[in-house]
Chains A and B, each alone.
Chain A
Amino acid sequence: MIALIDLGMGNLASVLAAFQRVGAEVRVTDRPEDTAAAAAVILPGVGTFGDGMACLRARGLLKPLLRHAAEGRPLLGICLGMQLLADLGEEHGKHRGLGILPGRVARLRPKSLDQRVPNMGWCDVHIRKKNGLFRDVAEGESFYFAHSYHLICDKDTDQAAVIDYGGEEITAAVERDNVFGLQFHPEKSQDAGLDVLSSVMDRILECTQIVSRG
């Protein structure tokens, strides 16, 4: 079972519809036991970092998520869900994150009037890992972003893709073994987004085979 975590912070219908479009069967849940039993977990999210962590804590999802990732089972964070994977969030004060992916989440700092916060709209994505989530996506393809904060990875090698924000490279996607994250909204990124979700399903399958062999 693939669990789509409902943090109660927004609408999951479009995420669900997009996964269904690529033929994936996912179950919307906020129960710790479903997370513990899931072959793969998808953590979407909108809203603030602190609220996101509070929602995970209130639902008793912190431990099952950490165990899930530690056991090598696939975990995908989308938008805020990706940011929560980090060690630290600097949105409205400092908040501890899940600490699954080394890094911190900081506010976007625009340098010119051309750059806006939120960074909202379609950005060209530059692929850093070609054989993972972006295996079916052309270099420079556009995806839909809507965010005021960004994930700064401790290790550049965790970045699967980046965007150019006023000359600065910021994280568009992360990939490290069984842990995946997308800053953009694949469910709102037309065909390119659906292609990435297809690859997510492939990667989930590959990770699951590794776990069961392991």
Chain B
Amino acid sequence: MLSKRIIPCLDVRDGKLTKGVRFKGNVDIGDPVETARMYYEQGADEIVFYDITASAEGRGIFLDVVEKVASTIFIPFSVGGGIGSVEDMRAVLLAGAEKVSVNSGAVKNPDIISQGAAAFGSQCVVLGMDVKRVEKSEAVPSGFEVVIHGGRKHMGLDALDWAKTGEALGAGEICLNSIDADGTKDGYDLELTRLISRKVRIPVIASGGAGNPGHMAEAFVKGGASAALIASIVHYGEYSIARIKQEISEQGVKMRMVW
């Protein structure tokens, strides 16, 4: 049987973590490789690295980080941020990432999904979607609109249509981020998660709003998500991944336990 996945997300700028990771133990604060190793040992099922570097120089440093991660942890990890071409995808996959996530690059040029899937296989291509609640309209009948640039730019694109299009183009997975829920710690947008996970047959990762393990359990049970992305609740030491998985498991959701 398949377990539901818990996936910590690390934001990296110029090769360093941007949100401080504060822990009780002797963690080398701000080093993405050491932090990935710690989450790996705690039982993370997968890790997401999001590169928010702007410069070409910083990009090179980031690829070095990816290479180090690949020889340190033996679980899958994906890389996103600034992926605009098949060559960008190739660079992170050759550096050792298992998957690559396309987001605004795919909204601007949807063919990158099919080209990536043809070149590397669907299982490598994650479609990242940033979604915001809006008034229902002709262009956005579901009331969930795809946005880019952190929600500052609306695309006039319905999230349900975009998810279906992404699946048809060959995406192997959708990482669904609610801009409204992000940072609230009030829980994932369950309505959005449920709508999208019923619309497609590829796995859906719920993202944005996780404040406690119960929220993740809800995303799995009520939202139909295959995985849950988490960030601050582990980065600030509030929960360990082991404890999160223990608590979710006690609610009857199947988790992979590593201890």
**Residues of chain A having any CB pair with chain B under 8 Å:** 9-11, 13-14, 17-18, 21, 46-48, 110, 113, 116-124, 142, 144-148, 163-165, 185, 187-191, 193-194
Residues A188 and B202 in contact, CB atoms below 8 Å apart: no
Mask of B161-196 contacts with A, CB within 8 angstroms, 1/0: 000000000001100000000000000000000000
Interface residue B124 (Cβ < 8 Å from any Cβ of A): yes
- B2, B197, B227 — which one has the most chain A CB atoms within 10 A of its CB? B2
**Residues of chain B having any CB pair with chain A under 8 Å:** 1-5, 40, 45, 67, 70-71, 74-76, 93-98, 120-124, 172-173, 197-198, 201-203, 224, 226-227, 256, 258
- Cβ contact of A17, chosen from B3, B71, B202, B227, cutoff 8 A: B71
Residues B2 and A13 in contact, CB atoms below 8 Å apart: no
Q: Which residue of A lies closest to B96 (CB)?
A: A13
Shortest distance from the beta carbon of B45 to any chain A beta carbon, whole Å: 6
Instruction: Write out the residue numbers on chain A whose beta carbons fall within 8 Å of the beta carbon of B122.
Output: 118, 148
Residues A110 and B172 in contact, CB atoms below 8 Å apart: no
- Total number of A-B contacts with CB less than 8 angstroms? 109
Given contacts A17-B70, A123-B2, 8 further A-B pairs with CB under 8 A are A10-B121, A13-B94, A120-B203, A121-B3, A146-B172, A188-B74, A188-B98, A191-B258
Q: Which residue of A lies closest to B44 (CB)?
A: A190
Instruction: Write out the residue numbers on chain A whose beta carbons fall within 8 Å of the beta carbon of B97.
Output: 11
Q: How far is the CA of A123 from the CA of B95 in the complex (A)?
A: 26
Q: Are A122 and B201 also in contact (CB < 8 A) when A11-B96, A146-B123 are? A: no
Residues A123 and B3 in contact, CB atoms below 8 Å apart: yes
Shortest distance from the beta carbon of A22 to any chain B beta carbon, whole Å: 10
Instruction: Write out the residue numbers on chain A whose beta carbons fall within 8 Å of the beta carbon of B76.
Output: 144, 146, 185, 188
Residues A122 and B45 in contact, CB atoms below 8 Å apart: yes
Instruction: Write out the residue numbers on chain B whose beta carbons fall within 8 Å of the beta carbon of A118.
Output: 122-123, 172-173, 202-203
- Cβ contact of A116, chosen from B93, B98, B124, B203, cutoff 8 A: B203
Residues B1 and A124 in contact, CB atoms below 8 Å apart: yes
Q: How far is the CA of A124 from the CA of B93 in the complex (A)?
A: 27
- Cβ contact of A189, chosen from B74, B93, B95, B172, cutoff 8 A: B74
Residues A121 and B201 in contact, CB atoms below 8 Å apart: no
Q: Which residue of A lies closest to B4 (CB)?
A: A121
Residues B256 and A142 in contact, CB atoms below 8 Å apart: yes
Q: How far is the CA of A187 from the CA of B76 in the complex (A)?
A: 9
Q: How far is the CA of A165 from the CA of B45 in the complex (A)?
A: 19
Residues A113 and B224 in contact, CB atoms below 8 Å apart: yes
- A13, A124, A147 — which one has the most chain B CB atoms within 10 A of its CB? A13
Instruction: Write out the residue numbers on chain A whose beta carbons fall within 8 Å of the beta carbon of B1.
Output: 123-124, 163-164
* A-B CB contact pairs (8 Å), 30 listed: A9-B121, A10-B120, A11-B93, A11-B95, A13-B96, A17-B70, A18-B74, A46-B123, A113-B198, A113-B224, A116-B203, A117-B202, A118-B173, A120-B123, A121-B2, A121-B3, A121-B5, A121-B227, A122-B5, A123-B1, A142-B256, A144-B75, A145-B2, A146-B76, A163-B1, A185-B98, A190-B40, A190-B74, A191-B74, A193-B74
Residues B93 and A14 in contact, CB atoms below 8 Å apart: no
Residues A13 and B227 in contact, CB atoms below 8 Å apart: no
Residues B75 and A188 in contact, CB atoms below 8 Å apart: yes
Residues B40 and A119 in contact, CB atoms below 8 Å apart: no
Residues A47 and B120 in contact, CB atoms below 8 Å apart: yes
Residues B172 and A120 in contact, CB atoms below 8 Å apart: yes
Residues A13 and B203 in contact, CB atoms below 8 Å apart: no
Instruction: Write out the residue numbers on chain B whose beta carbons fall within 8 Å of the beta carbon of A48.
Output: 121
Q: How far is the CA of A146 from the CA of B96 in the complex (A)?
A: 16
Shortest distance from the beta carbon of A208 to any chain B beta carbon, whole Å: 26
Q: How far is the CA of A188 from the CA of B69 in the complex (A)?
A: 12
Shortest distance from the beta carbon of B220 to any chain A beta carbon, whole Å: 10
Q: How far is the CA of A48 from the CA of B118 in the complex (A)?
A: 8
Q: Which residue of B lies closest to A17 (CB)?
A: B71
Q: Are A46 and B3 also in contact (CB < 8 A) when A122-B256, A193-B74 are? A: no
Q: How far is the CA of A120 from the CA of B78 in the complex (A)?
A: 13
Q: How far is the CA of A188 from the CA of B60 in the complex (A)?
A: 24
Instruction: Write out the residue numbers on chain A whose beta carbons fall within 8 Å of the beta carbon of B70.
Output: 11, 13-14, 17
Q: Are A110 and B3 also in contact (CB < 8 A) when A46-B121, A120-B123, A121-B45 are? A: no
Instruction: Write out the residue numbers on chain A whose beta carbons fall within 8 Å of the beta carbon of B98.
Output: 14, 146, 185, 188
Q: Are A119 and B201 also in contact (CB < 8 A) when A188-B75, A190-B75, A193-B74 are? A: no
